[in-house]
Amino acid sequence: MKNRIHLYVSSKNLLTRLMALCMVASAVARIVFPGLKGSGESQSVWIQILLPVTASTLYALIALFDGQENFHKTAIPVWMMVIYSGIWISHNVQGRMMSGLFWIALIFFATLYTDITAGHRPHGIWLLLPIAAAPVAFILYFCKEGILARNFDALLPFAGDLLMLLGVAVLVLAIRVHPAGEYHPTWGDRKDGRKIRTLHPMAQITAYFQWERNICSNLFEESFEITNVDRYIRQKRREGLKDFGITHVLLAAYVRGVAKYPQLNRFINGQKVYSRGEDIQYCMVIKKEMTVDSPDTSIKVHLNPRDTAEDVYHKLNAAVSSVKATQELDSNLDGLIMALNLIPGVVLKFTVWLLKLLDYFGMLPAFLTELSPFHGSLFFTSMGSLGIPPIYHHLYDFGNLPVFGAFGMKRRANEINDDGEVVQKKYIDVKFVLDERIVDGFYYATFFKYYRRLLAHPEVLDNPPEEIVKDID
């Protein structure tokens, strides 16, 4: 995967706090002296006061609260500042040529700022030159006579502008670079995944022609011989993992498979392909008691390609125990669903449509995607605990879950070995429903061959993988 430069600013940095002070002072100056920046008409108020106040406030908030991971988003208020400045200059500069030159300079600066903060350039310090040149050009053009006459009151109408520029300049000095090799979010990424930008053209356009997840599902069925798995489970229980079972082994093997074949941890949203990286989100349904009247709920467990079978055991059991310990098996998801049920039917339909729209553009709040069982890497369910064979469970058109697996009861089969003797072996049947758009059939086939080898030698799951393969950029 191609490394990108991850620029960030820390809220603990004194320069970052000084920037925030400059931005607040800029906003206050515009509000306290409104008559200095416009005629008082509604259009003038919107463009000359509300727009720059919003831009400077948003710039400070992003840098203070999200500058560590999403510093590139400060480009949004910078473009707002450019629009404000360009409109003001267009109304106060004589001649179209001069106005056009100012617009070109402003757009150049905003483009340069966006490019650098997105990680395409190694040093944010390059921004200082246009930032320093801007007030000099501004003062020479608009305030030259007042400055030559030592009438510094001529600068007062532009105090908000100068403070805003000063704030941006101060923050540029606070920019730091994250350690090499650490991926950073940038434009086009989602909160729950990074966009894959180097896919083959056919893979990029497929989702536009096949946009419903269920229509694009492939069905896969396999039977795994589990003699070694049973032996491994008994060993783990003797070591103190009393509830260790087949679910932990199957899930740990899947996690180990993702370490070698990371494209299994992709998903599609908004017709784009994304990768969750090393965040493997496992979803499952649990019941408090195995009765028809017992309520059920969904949980989500965050796993990592480095996790061993014991790590998977502890993470999964901790998540299950935290929900089952409650009186009514309530989870945060249940609370959200109860709140949605309070909305009248017609309004609820619009609410769901709005949630789907936000999800399409990657704007669904992170807390909702965290609660949602429709957003994740894998849904795995045990039909064996219900005493039935596995089923093909459909995928969900809402959300982005690309894989749904189910396994059934253990079964015995009589077979003839190489010596011509009849031997009894133990199997478990597994069925998967897979989104064909995230990878091709050859990749899926290679993964499941490796998955079979892992289940034949489950003891390898006791140690972390020697190598974690990274997905493409």
CA end-to-end distance (rounded Å), the chain: 5
**pLDDT per residue as tens digits for the range 289-341:** 666 666 677 889 999 999 999 999 999 999 888 877 665 555 566 677 778 88
> Is 450:257 a contact under the CB 8 Å cutoff?
yes
The DSSP-derived string for 103-137 is HHHHHHHHHHHHHIIIIISS-GGGGHHHHHHHHHH
What is the average per-residue pLDDT within 261-283? 94
Does residue 123 lie in a domain region? Answer: yes
Q: Are residues 152 and 278 in the same domain?
A: no
Residue type, 206: T
The answer to whether position 59 is within a domain reads: yes
pLDDT for the residue 285: 85
Q: Which of 177, 212, 230 is the last residue of a domain?
A: 177
CA 185, distance to chain mean position in Å, is 8
Looking at the fold, whether 206 and 159 belong to one and the same domain comes out as no
Contacts of residue 213, Cβ cutoff 8 Å, sequence gap at least 6: 268, 395, 396, 397, 402, 435
The region of weakest confidence among 42-46, 100-104, 360-364, 399-403 is 42-46
Take residue 446 and report the two structure tokens written for it: 């290679």
Mean local confidence (pLDDT), 8-27: 93
Tell me the range of 81-95, 169-183, 192-206 where mean pLDDT is highest: 192-206
**Closest Cα partner for 265 from 250, 254, 275?**
275
Q: Does 222 share its domain with 265?
A: yes
- Retrieve residue 458's tokens: 């489950």
Kindly state whether residues 135 and 232 are assigned to the same domain.
Answer: no
Query: Which residues are within 8 A (CB) of 138 and not within 5 positions of it... i.e. 6 or more apart?
Result: 158, 161
The CATH number assigned to the domain holding 278 equals 3.30.559.10
Instruction: Tell me the pLDDT tens digit for each residue of 80-125.
Output: 998 988 888 888 777 788 888 888 888 988 888 888 888 876 666 6
Which of 177, 203, 225 is a domain's end point? Answer: 177
* Bridge partners of residue 392, in order along the sequence: none
Examine residue 235 and state whether it is found in any structural domain, yes or no.
yes
Q: How many domains does the chain have?
A: 2
- Note whether 267 and 276 are within 8 A (CB): yes
Q: 172 and 275 in one domain?
A: no
Residue with tokens 């965050």: 302
Residues 65, 207: one domain? no
**Is 186 inside a domain boundary?**
no
- The predicted structure's pLDDT at residue 102: 82
Q: Is residue 116 part of a domain?
A: yes
Q: Quick one: 202 and 173 in the same domain?
A: no
- pLDDT greater than 50 at residue 31: yes
Residues 168 and 242 occupy one common structural domain: no
pLDDT band at 151 (very low <50, low <70, confident <90, very high): low
Q: Same structural domain for residues 150 and 280?
A: no
Same domain, 120 and 247: no
Q: Kindly give, in sequence order, each residue whose CB lies less than 8 Å from that of residue 303, ignoring residues fewer than 6 positions away.
A: 251, 255, 280, 281, 282, 311, 312, 315
- Which residue, of 150, 177, 204, is where some domain finishes? 177
Q: Which residue has the higher pLDDT, 126 or 459?
A: 459
Got the DSSP string for 281-324? EEEEEEESSSSTTS-EEEEEEEE-TT--HHHHHHHHHHHHHHHH
In this structure, the answer to whether residues 163 and 127 fall within a common structural domain is yes
pTM of the full structure: 0.81
Longest Cα–Cα distance of the chain, Å, equals 109
Burial-class residue 154 by CB neighbours within 10 Å (0-12, 13-18, 19+).
middle
Q: Is residue 470 part of a domain?
A: no
| Domain assignment present for 472 | no
| Domain housing 71 | 7-177
The verdict on 226 and 375 lying in the same domain is yes
Tokens 């989100």 appear where?
281
- Assess if residue 272 is contained within a domain: yes
Write out the H or E segment, with its range, that includes residue 40.
none
Q: How far is CA 213 from CA 271, 300, 323, 433, in A?
A: 10, 21, 30, 10
Two tokens, residue 451 = 């998955």
